[in-house]
Amino acid sequence: MNYHLVFLIIFMFLFTAPASGGERLDGRYQTTVKDVIDGDTFSARIKVWLGQEIETLVRINGIDTAELRSTCPHEKALAQDAKARVTQIIAGKTVTLSNITYGKYAGRIVADVDTDEAGSVANILINAKLARLYHGKQRTAWC
């Protein structure tokens, strides 16, 4: 194991200034989806300026989907269905991010996610009953 890398990650996590929870980035950003993590999170490459791109995790704003790590078979099946649907909608495609804020976990952002073809990804998942409205409070159990 590379202990220098582990030390660097721990140092960055503990000693970097925390982001202000109230900050929001206005505008619309074209994003290439790299990988779908689960029903409400994906990794993306975001063009932030000419010749400038970043790769980060994006959580879809306003929704919660079932957890893949659940021990409840019903929740796990819903989580797999949500991930499959999101993969079908956005994987390998360009989507638009807007209303971007910091996530509560280091390195992740929260944003409204839209596609040219289908519109709001959050609305698609809610209408398919694969996601619930979520505004940062305690999650409701899926089982």
pLDDT digits (tens, 9 = 90+) for 81-90: 999 999 999 9
Q: 136 pLDDT exceeds 60?
A: yes
The neighbour count for residue 17, using CB atoms within 10 Å, is 5
Say what the pLDDT of residue 16 is. Answer: 39
CA atoms of 123 and 31, how far apart (whole Å): 19
Q: How confident is the model at residue 48 (pLDDT cuts 50, 70, 90)?
A: confident
Q: How confident is the model at residue 8 (pLDDT cuts 50, 70, 90)?
A: very low
With tokens 């970043």, the residue in question is 54
Say what the pLDDT of residue 138 is. Answer: 73
Its pTM stands at 0.79
DSSP E strand stretches across 17-107: 24-38, 41-49, 52-60, 63-64, 94-102
